[in-house]
Structure 1
């Protein structure tokens, strides 16, 4: 197991995954039932820094490591979503799947796939039919747009179509159009056929941080592609919909249209807090023990919010390291809590008022 020395394991700047990940047994049971038993897509929502990304990242990493369920996991980051908004969501999803199959199943460098895309039809055929099929599909969603005047622009996603323009240059060129739902699903059928030859039975696309995009984009993606999200040919796990948006009738209906929707909240049991602190502390080279009274205090005063727990423990650990403590008592926890008391009050007030909490709210 990886150990940390002077670096704090009390992570609060990025998603928490095993071996630090703790609690969430109820949430994981619902997710496992949706994904593995019923083969459905799933939407997660909740306040900022509550642990949504930690949950989705943990599920993704477990699937990626074990491969026991014969499921190919595909990761779709926030940056990829921005590109999807600018281009075509379905086309970019196909591109992400192709890249994952190429690297995880065919076991070749992604740069080879990109190089072949740039070279176009001049490239020699690959050895296996799976490689040739994958390259063909990849080209459908990632070629450049060329016009008769010699201009070119990079376009990702969608299908190629001819477009003629009456102008001084009399341009006739290729331009991408958005995929129709049935076209996307036909391509998914082909991709499922490819992964079957490598021992995989299905694909799950993990879409993190869609909730960080503007509200209108949240609703547009959920509404426009709902027939895709409800298809049994491919599954999605989506972290979507800002909390304030989910209180609007239109967005609430979109959430409830999913067979499985899950709101992520703070820890409900003190045992989850104890597990989180224990898992984080286990990565320390020089062990530091937290007294039980400290765990009780953290659970009560943060209302089980994992982000605040980790921030307070991080500050506590920094002091303990300097003073060479081997045990953290309640007085030190209380002292560090006071440093965050005003910020936690902002959080509590916003939640009580039915308002979303964002980390940026602390600077307002």
Structure 2
């Protein structure tokens, strides 16, 4: 598959071209949006709407398109993904333990950078940042934490220090769409393909517009009551900005964890480092003697909130894994029964 300037601007490279060799006669394209059984695909011949069979594509996917006799198009194949940002269903805690949906949902594919967007406010969500960092690290992309609406922060340096402590290994940046502060720094980070994650009203669409230098995403006025914008994005959409591509996403209230063992370890690297100094290799950091994690909490070197958050996310991740295993076993049992029934019918016919 030959290169074109437009395909290259979408992220097409030699590796993608090599993986497309087996799709002779088909056209490559990148999925910009998926909605109601159709997807918008960017190609060198324009934007194309296409359907699919089987598993749906996601924003950011590279696909092979087949033209149909009626002039329509169909996704014939989804190219193997380099990275995948997957969230689980929401697990809820109750007296009986955890409950909820353990299914995984692909949020974006083939992203290089995850921008975790959180507004500057008295209730800046540290726990939410930690959760989204676990997903981001697990995806294989590089995460950054972006504190928006910096012009509204009463103590921005103090806020950034607090957020940095909750995001080991990830750079933290402050931006303001009003003053322009930090926009150039974020633009330098958002090379390749980036995806924005964060709650409704955090300013994700406003940030996309600032990066693009024009209004490419619709926004609404900031509410006077709490300084947050009213959320308008209802779908994931890939848009082109100078120097790269950005996927805006709907605001998230809760994001479940899905197969995030490595991501959790990186999101809580400070606890992992301390755990290596515990007396017992299987220390649960609850009441064991010689626990370096508990000692750090007692001395004030590790905020107790961090340990509480780690325990909560670990419980949720373990529950999700157990539910996933149970679902797979149930599916294998169902298939076995169907196969057995069919075999019996074949023998009796």
Q: Which has the higher strand share?
A: 2
Q: Under TM normalisation by the shorter chain, which class is it? A: under 0.3
Task: Tell me: higher relative CO, structure 1 or 2? Use CA pairs within 8 A at least 6 residues apart.
Answer: 1
* TM-score between both structures, scaled by the size of structure 2: 0.25
Q: Which has the higher helix share?
A: 1
| Higher gyration radius (CA) | 1
* TM-score between both structures, scaled by the size of structure 1: 0.25
